[in-house]
Chain A
Amino acid sequence: MSENKVLFLPDDVKVKIPVGQTILQAASKAGIVLRGACGGGGACGRCRVQLKKGRLSFAGTGKLPPEESEKGWILACQAVPKGEVTVFAPESSRLSEHRVLLEGRQAGVLAATAEGVAEPAPLFRRQVVKLVAPTLADNTDDYGRLVWALEHEYGIRNVRISRQVLAELPGTLRESDWHVAVELAVVDDCLEIQGVRPAAGQVSVFGLAVDIGTTTVAVELVDLDTGEVAGTAGAYNRQAAYGDDVIARIINAVEMPGGRVKLQEAVRETINGLVTELLETRSLDRTQVRAVVCAGNTTMVHLFLGLDPTYIRLEPYVPSVNMPPPVKAAELGLEVNPEAWVYCLPGVASYVGGDITGGVRVTGMAGEKALTLFLDIGTNGEMVLGNREWLMACACSAGPAFEGSGIACGMRAIPGAIEAIRVVDGGFEVLYNTIDNRKPTGICGSGFIDLLSSLFEAGVIDRSGRFVPGLETPRVRGGEEGREFVVAWAGETGHGADITVTQADLQNLLRAKAAVFAGVRTLLASLGLEIGAVERVFIAGGFGRFINARDAITIGMLPDVPLQRYKYVGNSALKAAGLGLLSQKVWEEIKEIARRITNVELSVGNKFMEEFVSALFLPHTDIKLFPSTQKGT
């Protein structure tokens, strides 16, 4: 399929789109949400952009004054690129300013930090060796000959082999004329020879990177020979039936008869479902999947491995293990090659798990001088502050709201999710954009951040997140669960029902954002630092394709530092698992990071609770902490 390329200024983001798609669609793909009240029909004239370079064809002229078209202004919804074009998208045409795009693992901000993959050495790899056939004069044993060849050709030492593989070795070596591919898996400090096969006629091998989130699970299928991502899939964690947060899961695992087995089964089946989907659509066999790297919080890893999570929940909050050993896939019931090793990223403490350690590696902060804050906002909000000198971490419970759970109209960031929202003054009109421009079926995390911010700015809710009484808009109405706000009317939506948020939903979101900010403040305070000291902020989490940093500051969720200090890294846990899978060096670095991070326990003292209540306000009880939100008010 041929493609066109569109470069957006001033963002400097380039995207590829299939021939025939419009600039508006390209903008959406680039995470730049243009205004489009008419839905791309050319009628509203709001999606104006300026052509800087390249040629276009037009589906229609749309509503644009002639003097503007002479200056190169076009309506993005009507313009189809021919080849490569450059356009300028002004602030006035955007639904919301400044967002950071996430597009796969190659997202610009991370390209520089993924250097570990420059010398790919996956946790499972194949090395082809040509052995010298034995003679009467050179009568070294077969295994010794193989070990020598590995060391001689690849510098590989410290190998081990099982009896089964050894039993077939002499035959294989001779049948393949001493030219073989050796299958090697990293296990602790040595390489395990998992098989020896004729060098000719090898099938491709794959690895899995798995992010086991409390709310969602994401799986990436990686080609271990090329390092390319063959596919990704995501789903809600089936453990959701046993509670929304890790505490509820632990209670169920411990107190429900057979609980631990049931929860392990639930997450295993979630992963197996995704793996089967990925393999079937590509006509691959499960035996081709030879290594699995999982990133998850400490509780998720415990439940996945079937370990006892009891003491994670009880003071002094000690997990069974922070650095779990690799386990064979067969033992865990994963539907991949039964001999494949399953590795879990090492964690730091009960509430700072391997997903965070991995995230720190992805940002590169552990090797740099700048004081960096890394925030992973999921069901738990975990954060790490530090640089190459030191790293401190803490965790707070944010609830699943920003992952699209725990709220009636919440959904994951999948097609049809409202990802950007603007509410017009007084709440009479709502503009929104959905992922893939489908009819909306719910709201994802980035949409909720926008919603809270714009409901406040439009005067629909007050600083305490409560609906302002006496509004005349029909969008605020009494519902079954108290007052609610209609984001999208039934006629506009993909499922034919109104999309609404209730007073309780808003309080839920307020609590989630308050927990995140209170965690940041408490962590900074434990080191005697102010917000301004933070030179860079990396945001990770399942909000959606991007996060609107400006709105997140407006609601007081993220610290008020200049927007250019923010970078969105999306699902950093999944990325870390992928990097670790492809590079033994990265894997070792992640382990080192886990050893370096110091955990701060927020439940000690009452600082966190006080910060939390203080943050239960838009943007914050102490307005001085958010100077940029006061402009123009």
Chain B
Amino acid sequence: MAVTIAKERWSSKCLEVALGSGPKQIKVGGETTLPFLHFEGETPNAPVVALEIFDAQPQEWPDFLSSVYEGVLGDPAAWAKKCVEYGADLVALHLSRTHPDQGDASPEDAAAVAADVAAAIDVPLIVLGCGVDEKDAAVLPEVANALAGKNCLLGCASQENYKSIVAGCIAGGHAVIASSPLDINLAKQLNILITEMNLETDRIIIDPSIGGLGYGLEYAYSIIERMRTGALMGDKMLAMPVVLLVGQEAWKTKEAKTPDTPDWGEQRKRAILWEVATATSLIHAGGHIAVVRHPESLKHIKEHIAKMMKPQAY
């Protein structure tokens, strides 16, 4: 029996953002439909996956995670290269040492590290601050300056500190991550505030804040889904691509941290699956850039994306 495929007619589309420069530049967004509905609209760019690195030797990582980066964990530039070898579309550098309680590294130190990493790779670079509003406001403009012209993605800017970070991004020619606490209105408000500083709308990526599988994933799912439908219905302030900071959420779950047990099985498999399940779920909600830690997660997520990007048979 013939089935008529119902199609929605959307009036608008997601914004497309380009990150990095040169042959490895990537583009995200630009869809005219919900995720992977190829029969209904265009999906010009597939979702991408970044591997996450740190400017300090990670503590309390399980062996099966730190072993894949053996020998490079103390050297961010080498670590970033390793990520590219593993197939990362982008590298996300966490400036954890700038945190006031974890070394309180100066903005200049942080900028030097970021510049080293950027010089070592040809894929686009994401630079994430330590999450303390005032510190990030001081560090990220310095980083933006050191990376001027490289078209990186810097974050996270919040309602409290967006002014100096956005100013840095404008001056250095970067894109910014606008971060809000799981609320569609707050996300939109921050986007308005940032665009009012005259940063172009296609220089903004939304971090909606996410929870890992079992830790509030469904809240993030519905927020991201509403952002996408909002974008498709013409809301320009919700049309920016979405970044999913999966690694930091997935690897702090009990399921990822509990060693092998007879009931729960092998930790390695469990932890990677947790990261993969979180990332793929939110990609299906409408996420564009997934930031993960384990190269095997990267591999699984990319395989899944490749399958989903195949045209539908109808």
Please name all residues of chain A whose beta carbon is closer than 8 Å to the beta carbon of B160 when the two chains form the complex: 466
Please judge, given known A-B contacts A462-B193, A463-B193, A464-B193, whether A610 and B185 are in contact too, CB under 8 Å: yes
Residues of A612-633 at the interface with B, using a CB-CB cut-off of 8 Å, are 613-614, 616-617, 621, 623
Whether the pair B193, A613 counts as a contact (CB closer than 8 A) is no
Shortest distance from the beta carbon of B252 to any chain A beta carbon, whole Å: 27
In the complex, A623→B237 CA distance in Å?
Answer: 10
Answer yes or no: B196 CB below 8 A from chain A CBs. Answer: yes
Query: Chain A contacts of B188 at CB under 8 A?
Result: 621
Total number of B residues with any Cβ neighbor in A under 8 Å: 13
Interface string of B204-237 (1 = CB under 8 A from A): 0000000000000000000000000000000001
Say what secondary structure dominates the interface of chain A.
Answer: loop
B185 adjacent to A463 (CB under 8 Å): no
Whether A466 pairs with B192 at a CB distance below 8 angstroms is no
Cβ–Cβ contact B192 & A463, under 8 A = yes
Q: A462-B193, A464-B159 are in contact. Are A469 and B185 (CB under 8 A)?
A: no
Q: Are B189 and A617 in contact (CB under 8 A)?
A: yes
Cβ-Cβ contact count across A and B, 8 Å cutoff: 31
Q: Is B163 an interface residue (CB 8 A)?
A: yes
A148 to B124, CA, bound (A): 100
Distance to closest chain B CB from A375 (angstroms): 22
The interface centre, meaning the residue of B186, B189, B192, B193 with most chain A CB atoms within 10 A of its CB, is B189
With both chains docked as a complex, state the minimum distance between the C-beta of B182 and any C-beta of chain A, in angstroms. Answer: 11
User: Is A468's beta carbon under 8 Å from chain B?
Assistant: yes
B258 within 8 A of A: no
- Bound CA span A616–B183, Å: 12
Q: Is B66 an interface residue (CB 8 A)?
A: no
Contact mask for chain B residues 147-164; partner A; CB cutoff 8 A; 1 contact, 0 none: 000000000000110011
A463 touches B164 (CB 8 A): no
**Which of A463, A610, A616 has a CB less than 8 Å from the CB of B196?**
A463
Pick the residue among B163, B185, B192 that contacts A613 (CB under 8 A).
B185
Determine the distance from Cα of A466 to Cα of B189 in the docked complex, in whole angstroms: 13
The reply to whether A621 and B193 contact each other, CB–CB distance below 8 Å, is no
Residues of chain A contacted by B163 (CB below 8 angstroms): 468-470
- Of the candidates B159, B164, B186, B196, which one forms a contact with A466 in the assembled complex, judged by CB atoms under 8 Å apart? B159
Q: Which residues on the B side are within 8 Å of A614 (C-beta)?
A: 185
Interface size class on chain A is 10 to 19
Measured in the bound complex, the distance between the Cα atoms of B195 and A621 in whole Å is 13
Task: Give the CA-CA distance A436 to B237 in the complex, in Å.
Answer: 46
* A contact residues around B186 at 8 Å (CB): 613
Q: How far is the CA of A621 from the CA of B183 in the complex (A)?
A: 12
Instruction: Say which residue of A468, A469, A610, A617 sits within 8 Å of B192 (CB atoms).
Output: A617
For chain A, residues 418 to 477, give those with C-beta under 8 angstroms from any C-beta of chain B.
Answer: 462-464, 466, 468-470
Within residues 357 to 415 of chain A, which ones have a CB less than 8 A from any CB in chain B?
none
**Nearest-CB distance from A358 to chain B (Å)?**
35
The complex places the Cα of A617 from the Cα of B193 at a distance, in Å, of 10
B188 (CB) vs chain A CBs: closest residue: A621
Interface 1/0 per residue, A591-625 and B, CB below 8 Å? 00000000000000000001001101100010100
Residue in chain A with minimal CB distance to B196: A463
Bound-complex Cα distance A623 to B160 (A): 21
What residues on A are CB-neighbors of B159 within 8 Å? 464, 466
Q: Which residues of A contact B193 (CB under 8 A)?
A: 462-464
**What separation, in Å, do the CA atoms of A466 and B196 have in the docked complex?**
14
In the bound complex, what is the Cα–Cα distance between A466 and B161 (angstroms)? 11
Query: Which of B164, B185, B196 touches A621 (beta carbons < 8 Å)?
Result: B185
Q: How far is the CB of A550 from chain B (nearest CB, A)?
A: 22
Complex Cα spacing A470 to B164, Å: 10
- A450 and B158 alpha carbons, distance in the complex (Å): 28
Which of A464, A466, A470: most chain B Cβ within 10 A?
A464
CB B184 to nearest CB in A, in angstroms, measures 8
A614 to B238, CA, bound (A): 13
Q: Which residues of B contact A470 (CB under 8 A)?
A: 163
Residues from chain B with Cβ under 8 Å of A623 in the complex: 192
Which residues on B sit within 8 Å (CB–CB) of A613? Answer: 183, 185-186
Cα A614 to Cα B192 with chains together (Å): 12
B126-169 vs A, CB cutoff 8 Å, 1 = contact: the mask equals 00000000000000000000000000000000011001100000
Shortest beta-carbon distance from B169 to chain A in Å? 16
* Cα of A469 to Cα of B160 in the assembled complex, Å: 11
Contact A464 B185, beta carbon cutoff 8 Å: no
How close is B175's CB to chain A, nearest CB, in angstroms?
A: 21
- Cβ contacts B171-200/A at 8 Å (1 or 0 each): 000000000000101101100110010000
- A469, B189: Cβ atoms closer than 8 Å: no
Closest 8 CB pairs of A and B: A614-B185, A613-B185, A621-B185, A617-B189, A621-B188, A621-B189, A464-B159, A469-B163
A-B contact pairs, 6 of them (CB 8 A): A463-B192, A463-B196, A466-B159, A610-B185, A613-B185, A617-B189
Binding site for B on A (CB under 8 A): 462-464, 466, 468-470, 610, 613-614, 616-617, 621, 623
Assuming A464-B159, A621-B192, what are 16 further A-B pairs, CB within 8 angstroms? A462-B196, A463-B189, A463-B192, A463-B196, A464-B193, A468-B163, A469-B163, A470-B163, A610-B185, A613-B183, A613-B186, A614-B185, A617-B185, A617-B192, A621-B185, A621-B189
